[in-house]
Amino acid sequence: MDEEERSHPFRDSQQDVAAARITPDTPQTRAPAYRLAFTDTEFLLREELRPVRLQLELLKPQMIMDARGIRSTVVMFGGARIPAPAEKDSARTPELAALSRYYDEARSFARQMTERSLESYGAENVICTGGGPGVMQAGNMGAFQAGGISIGLSIVLPHEQAPNQYVTPDLCFNFHYFAIRKMHFLMRAKAVTVFPGGFGTLDEMFEALTLIQTGRMTRVPFILFGREFWHKVINWQALAEAGTISPEDLELISFVETAEEAVAIIDNWVVPCP
């Protein structure tokens, strides 16, 4: 008996799953009640099992990333509809076509951060996107072109959407619960970057900002690409003047236009004194 067998004297779950496959076929063994609970999909999908499913969605990516030795990530939020410059002529609006420059900035930023990640053998500064098209694809592409790994946190949507081809396959996760997906975006975040986007991007941006503002999350570089876009869609100063946020809350955000500006902010970051 080896050391592992001595430390685990009971039969493991995989052995019992294998045994269940060769169980004699009878009315009793065919009944749903006889299935092992953790292999019974109908049982796991019951309303009462939601807390278990939430826990599983938290644990699976966490355990896989821990096993890969990933200690910190650089998060890239941004619109799925932002086209690559080569595709801007087919954009839905002239405004989207103009925003295509941020696709290249996203790719360049991810490439530069991944070059730093390679210095730690992929443990630090790992690019993390939503795994979809647009800015997300640009981020994963930049990491791929640098020869590194990147994470994709996909979400099941009513319409078909496959992860983009540049996400590292072993780090391509799929979520049912938006809340758990958001936790994984921020649990290891060393920096958060936000590119122009729509409702989803705004949702992710404001939730992360709220966590930092309220002290529930350590302050990290929070970088918005596209001054003109962000000042047009959100009147930041009006929020401060109305008193709904404090003037110093505006200091949580940096605005940039280029990948180089964003990298410089991250490279020179010093955690502010509380």
Mean pLDDT by 10 residues, the chain (274 residues): 59 78 85 88 94 97 97 97 92 93 98 97 97 97 98 88 94 96 97 97 97 96 97 96 96 97 95 71
Domain boundaries, the chain: 49-267
Residue 258, SS3? Answer: coil
End-to-end CA distance of the chain: 55
pLDDT of residue 1: 44
The two tokens of residue 110 are 């991810």
Computed over every residue of the chain, the mean pLDDT equals 93
CATH no. for 49-267: 3.40.50.450
- Neighbouring CB atoms inside 10 A of 35's CB total 15
- Neighbouring CB atoms inside 10 A of 158's CB total 5
Instruction: State the burial class of residue 81 (Cβ atoms within 10 Å of its Cβ: 0-12, 13-18, 19+).
Output: middle
* Partner residues linked to 173 by β-bridges: 153
Instruction: State the burial class of residue 97 (Cβ atoms within 10 Å of its Cβ: 0-12, 13-18, 19+).
Output: middle
Residue 69 is classified by DSSP as T
Measured CA to CA, the distance from residue 163 to residue 132 in angstroms comes to 5
Residue with tokens 């994963």: 140
Q: Is the separation of the CB atoms in 125 and 112 below 8 Å?
A: no
pLDDT of residue 162: 86
